[in-house]
Amino acid sequence: MPPKKKCVSVAWQVVCIFIPFAWIWAFYRIGKLGKGVMIMIGGYGVAIILGIIGALDDGALVAIFGYIGWFGYIVWLMVKWSDKWNESVSKNPSM
C-alpha cells in the first residue's frame, strides 16, 4: 500500500529518526521505506563494529564520532528526501 500523497513535517520526520522504530514510519511516509531500512540496519551494523573496536582498543571516541556521523547523515537524508517529497506533492496534489 503506497503512502498517502500529502506534505510531511520535516521537523517531525527528523524527530522520528531518534525514536526507536518510529523511523520506519517516517521513511514510509515519504516513500523511502526500503532505502531507509537498509541504511538504518547498515548503520546499526557499523555502530556495533565501531563499538567493538572502541572497546578493544579503548577508542571510545571512535565509536562516539561514528554514531554522530551516522546520525548526521541520516538527518541530512531525511531532510533532503522529505523536502523532495513535499515538492512532488505540491506539484502533483492529485497523485
DSSP-derived secondary structure for 5-73: -----HHHHHHHHTSTTHHHHHHHHTT-HHHHHHHHHHHHHHHHHHHHHHHHTT-HHHHHHHHHHHHHH
Domain spans of the chain? Answer: 10-81
pTM above 0.85, yes or no: no
Task: For 14-47, write each residue's pLDDT tens digit.
Answer: 999 989 889 999 999 999 999 999 998 888 887 7
pLDDT of residue 95: 53
Task: For 55-76, write each residue's pLDDT tens digit.
Answer: 666 667 777 777 788 889 999 9
Contacts of 39 (CB under 8 A, 6+ apart): 74, 77
Judge whether residue 1 has pLDDT over 70. Answer: no
